[in-house]
Chains A and B, each alone.
Chain A
Amino acid sequence: MDIIFSAFEILLRWDVLIALLIGSCGGVVIGAIPGVGPAVAIAIILPATFSLEPIVGLTLLLGIYGSAMYGGSIPAILINTPGTPVNALTTYDGFPMTQRGESRRALSLAYSASFFGGIFSIMCLIFLSPLLAYIAPMFGSREIFLAALLGIILVITAHRGHMFAAAMMASLGIFIQAIGMEPIKYSKRFTFDQSWLTGGLNLIVVVLGLFAISQAILLLVEKDKQAKAVKVTGGLFQGLKELGKHKRIATVSASFGVLMGMIPGVGEFTSQFLSYTYAQRSSKTPEKFGKGSTEGLVASEAANNAVPAAAMIPLLALGIPGEALTAMMLSVFYVHNVIPGPNLFQNHLDFVIALYISLLILNILVLIFLLFSTNSLLKVIEIPSRFLGMSILILSFVGVYSLRNSFTDCAVAAGFGIFGFILKRLDLPIVPIILGMVLGEIMEGKLRTSMMNVKSPIDFINRPITFILFALIIIVLLLQVRTMWKNLRKK
């Protein structure tokens, strides 16, 4: 109980509350604009948070992360265009409901399901925290190395249809993080005698290039688009009542969200896929799925909104981000010398609980905001795409230049912007590059320290957790080989 009070003490400050309010409302607006999304927004705002205290900066970023998917459901339902990539499944049933003249019902149900998913996930995590605090200290260098390795393998295998592309991008990320002066033996790696490469390539610069500048270029190069959304009339409270009819689907979907969110590299898409499939199979009217089924809508929204809170688990407990947004948040911790990992859970559980409570508050704030402002948000959906591109390009400048006032950083970011633009044009994955960079650095450091006490390869997996992680890696790889073999035989 003391920990909970201590957590509230951390949170009850005007700057934290303002950050929460701006983050949650801003996240909804950003999510509602097709073509922006939380990754672009977080990448731009990230350097600005470095001057804030960790809890203030993190609540701001968490606000954007946790609320963008709420906003993303608005264009998904009203104009058949997902606001964030995660809302793609929402269009399947949300838009047909709008076509039937039930946009109000679809929106209110989506908000309610998202709210349920978010709250369910946070409650699970608050109750799981003591267990995590018990388990986290069992993770030493070897365990963290293997967990990071498992994470990178899962990120690659999760990209079905693009697995080899994901593997080459993750390898590229590992290579990029290794460029520059190596900190132990002070030997230069791939600097080509260029002084600007000696310090290596900054993660934030790469992130801004790959996510923000690339998106700006994409919007500016492609044809100008302007959506038209129909005004929603009437109140949006009925969804809260209607959700009661879908308790089972909402609970199972949110549970999938929690489970998948905790596994690095898996996240929203898998949880949505599993919950949607479950909802369809257990439904009395499976034929309605994809044609405006309320169950389908509840399944996809409850599952995707349960992920952000759960995705914080590997980040906070082990210091291992499972996807791009948590990888960006990791840099906020590093800037303030707060190292997430077993020690954070053991010694600063109040800080962790404070983050969970802030997620809880933001879900309530977002629901209230949405119930009263949906019609005003329709205006942001209608912003022309090239105008958005121009705005993102200007905003990207703040992100990159404010880091070190360096022209070189901006040139590097512009280079990665073009690279990201090409990847986006080809539908190739970008996230493995970022995770390759972050997890590559973790793996390099942890492998070096763990090998000091290891005499034979067997010693590496002689602890229970290392053995389990190693077994999981082997199982994932074998399953992947089996799937590939099956696909090959089918062809």
Chain B
Amino acid sequence: MKNIKSGDLLFAILFFLISAFLISQLPEQVKWFKKTKITSQPALWCSIGLIGMTIFGFIHLLLKIRFDDLKKELIEGFIWIRSIEFACWFLLYVFLVPYIGYLLATCIIALCLSYRAGYRNKKILTYSLITALSIVLVFKTFLEVKIPGGVIYEFLPGALRSFMILNF
């Protein structure tokens, strides 16, 4: 079958089920006001979106239905679940920054992620550190993007403390 990839059916089923669940919540999650034109109802655009999701999701599901290789669908599903690991790495990074500071958190995560990605040689790991440092220098030091200083900086002596909070 043309245009069908492993995981298509699984995605179509999940999308349709979520749309159907959300549309079932319409009466509770939105309010229809009396004596108000339909075009001014706050519920209108939620309903349009959900009706579209459900109808087109259903047609998409019909187009993707096949039962010849369900194992491949599951394998693809596991790959999706595996991706959660990297989302967790990202959240760990977000969690660490307010405590150990942007510079240290970026360097640690860059090194760990490079190691996790399979790089073992010193050259690539050094490049990871240089990349992390450059990112911090460009965004925090030069562009002054709003990222708060880490709690760890509170333990540094006066001048160094404010220097680190401002620049790293």
Contacts and interface: CB of A to CB of B under 8 A. Distances in A.
Interface of A: 47-48, 51, 161, 164-165, 167-168, 170-179, 182, 184-185, 187-192, 213, 216-217, 220-221, 224, 384, 386-387, 389-391, 393-398, 400-402, 405, 407, 410-411, 414-415, 417-418, 421-422, 425-428, 436, 440, 443-444, 447-448, 451
16 contacts: A51-B144, A167-B52, A168-B53, A171-B52, A190-B25, A389-B117, A390-B128, A394-B135, A397-B106, A400-B94, A410-B94, A418-B84, A421-B80, A426-B8, A436-B49, A451-B39
B127 A387 contact: yes
B90 A414 contact: yes
A224 B53 contact: no
Given A421-B83, A448-B40, A398 B52 contact: no
Contacts of B83: 217, 221, 418, 421-422
Interface of B: 3, 5, 7-8, 11, 15, 19, 22, 25, 29-31, 33, 36-37, 39-40, 42-46, 48-53, 56-57, 59-60, 63, 76, 79-80, 82-84, 86-87, 89-91, 93-95, 97, 106, 109-110, 113-114, 117-119, 124, 127-128, 131-132, 135, 139, 143-148
A171 B148 CA distance: 37
Contacts of B117: 220, 224, 386-387, 389-390
A64 B8 CA distance: 33
Contact of B95 (A165, A172, A188, A407): A407
Given A190-B22, A410-B90, 17 more contacts: A48-B143, A51-B144, A164-B56, A189-B29, A189-B46, A190-B30, A221-B79, A390-B117, A391-B110, A393-B86, A394-B131, A397-B93, A421-B80, A422-B80, A422-B83, A443-B45, A451-B39
B82 A221 contact: yes
Nearest to A414: B87
B6 to A, nearest CB: 9
A444 B31 CA distance: 16
Contacts, number: 196
A184 B40 contact: yes
B63 A164 contact: yes
A393 B90 contact: yes
B53 A426 contact: no
Given A174-B49, A394-B132, A216 B86 contact: yes
Contacts of B82: 221
Contact of A164 (B25, B59, B147): B59
Contacts of B132: 394
Contact of A428 (B11, B19, B30, B46): B11
A188 B42 CA distance: 9
Contacts of A179: 46
A175 B39 contact: no
B48 to A, nearest CB: 6
Contacts of A171: 48-53, 56
Contacts of A170: 52
Contact of A168 (B40, B60, B144): B60
B76 A425 contact: yes
A219 to B, nearest CB: 9
Contacts of A390: 110, 113-114, 117, 128, 131
A401 B87 contact: no
Contacts of A182: 42
A418 B51 CA distance: 24
Contacts of B7: 422, 425-426
B127 A178 contact: no
Given A386-B118, A391-B131, A168 B90 contact: no
Shortest Cβ-Cβ A-B pairs, 4 listed: A171-B52, A175-B49, A182-B42, A174-B49
A467 B139 CA distance: 49
Nearest to A181: B42
Nearest to A193: B29
B49 A172 contact: yes
Given A394-B132, A402-B147, A426-B7, A178 B37 contact: no
Nearest to B146: A402
A468 to B, nearest CB: 22
Contacts of A173: 49
Nearest to B25: A190
Contacts of B40: 184, 448, 451
Contacts of B5: 425-427
Contact of A167 (B45, B56, B90): B56
Contacts of A176: 49
A192 B29 contact: yes
A176 B48 CA distance: 11
A171 B95 CA distance: 33
Nearest to B87: A414
A369 B86 CA distance: 36
B45 A440 contact: yes
Contacts of A177: 45
A172 B53 contact: yes
B35 to A, nearest CB: 12
Contacts of A427: 5
Contacts of B46: 175, 178-179, 189-190
